Amino acid sequence: MQAVLILAHKNIDQVIELSRILKDKFEIYIHIDKKTKITERQKKLLDTLKINYISTQNVHWGAWSIVQATIDLINLALKNKNISYFHLISGQDWPAIDTAKIYNFFENNSHLYIWNYESAKYRKAGESLVDWQKYYFNYDKINRKSNFGKIYHRFSIILQKILRINKLKKLGIALTLYNGSQWVDLPRDSVEYLIHYLNENSNVLEMFKTGFCSDEFWVPTILRNNKSFAKRIDTNNHRYIDWHKRNNSFPAILDKSDFSKIRNSDAFFIRKVELPRSYELIEMLKRK
């Protein structure tokens, strides 16, 4: 048995339709952002479909709440002892191929599919990625995407550099940091290890809780620093994403113009899709 874990924050009807399609082969678990309104009709639909859903976290971009929502979802799914493989997707994902083909690929598969890279070797927006865990941030209280949040972020890094703040040294972090996509496919033993590791290493948990974009760090950092799991990691996570701004979104909201590129890729899931913009693309994928 395999499970799909969905982090949703908008377009609940679209998420329900996604769940309906995936449910034929997978157990479905959804975390719905506490800010997102869900109607009685939608609740009834989810219950009728026997979809597991929770709404424990008020999720903010770049903040710890994204990871906590994921952990809450994982803990819920782990209660089902029959689940052997876990797929984490967003509510704006969609299967690129037949769900049976996705299921069969991962059945009896011990590999971990995590797109990742060593943090120290890369920078984003002129910032060292290591600094995002080296310094303290709290974007569950400050809106990182607001104008104030953008100014605060830059000023905070400069100030902490001047004050020679080093959270990694203070917490005794001896791990090599890795970044990557939070959209992963993992066998049960690695998922159980992730939760166990955070429970047993309070310093690492504190690092992630007070870091920036920890959703990009926590899975690859914990698993790449374990030799046994590191050997089983495949960096191809079989996701199709257009990393350009298009249809007023970054990454791009996909539409019918992306169909041939998706079909020629090895993707199992695509993102972002958003109705009605992506309606024709979804219908084209359904027919194939």
What local confidence, expressed as pLDDT, does residue 15 receive? Answer: 96
**What pLDDT band is residue 125 in, cutting at 50, 70 and 90?**
confident
Q: Are 181 and 88 in contact (CB under 8 A)?
A: no
- Give the global pTM: 0.95
Quote the mean pLDDT of the chain.
96
Identify the DSSP state of 130. T
- Whether 201 shows a pLDDT value over 90: the answer reads yes
Q: Tokens 């479909």, residue?
A: 49
Distances (CA, A) of 236 to 25, 38, 41, 106: 22, 34, 38, 13
d(CA 207, CA 251): 27
- Whether 288 shows a pLDDT value over 80: the answer reads no
- Whether 13 shows a pLDDT value over 80: the answer reads yes
Q: For residue 54, give the amino acid letter.
A: I
